[in-house]
Chain A
């Protein structure tokens, strides 16, 4: 069964600290995504990748970096965490691009609290 796993599932960070959220997929999918979820805003795309060693900016990339060292792994990096980055972060993978070609498989989310 398709599987996307995220770690950590929950993290408390201090303002100005570095945070790394990790994602691992066993779907053999080329596309991977990082979304942020806030109440009232739904899911917003931060970064995505369609091949290892390459990442692309999504709709809200400011303050975030991404890394795709292999097809299976995709990380989201907050170099200087800020209070406004408190949110739930979701990783997802898909076998193809765009709305017509299939579904996104999401992980269970990583709840980040920045104090």
Chain B
């Protein structure tokens, strides 16, 4: 079974709105990564947040990490149509290989 999992398969918002994707994981981790995959492309990393960090930002993106509840969130503000993609969280225990969640599909409409 997967180590990490996003909480919703599909999300839909209008341009300019904010949206949050949540992720839960099953074991003690050293870091968690968020990836985005646009249609027809391979995934690309957005943010890496380490276990000693509570929040990390990258432009309009903000990731949080709560190790006590074993959860993470990725928020996107002022969404644009080009944010339409599948978003994955990925993590692993110490020394282990990265495990990806099943992904959350975000659609941003005009």
Contacts and interface: CB of A to CB of B under 8 A. Distances in A.
Interface residues of B, number: 29
A13 interface: no
Nearest to B92: A99
Interface string A4-34: 1000000000000000000000000000000
Bin the interface of chain A by size.
20 to 34
A95 interface: no
A58 B102 contact: no
B78 interface: no
B42 A98 contact: no
A98 B48 contact: no
Contact of B100 (A4, A42, A108): A42
A43 B43 contact: yes
Nearest to B98: A99
A44 B30 CA distance: 20
Contact of A58 (B2, B30, B97): B97
Given A43-B43, A92-B42, A103 B48 contact: yes
26 contacts: A4-B42, A40-B102, A41-B102, A42-B103, A43-B43, A43-B100, A44-B100, A45-B99, A58-B97, A59-B99, A90-B42, A97-B97, A98-B30, A98-B31, A98-B94, A99-B29, A99-B30, A99-B31, A99-B92, A100-B31, A100-B48, A103-B45, A104-B98, A106-B43, A106-B44, A109-B41
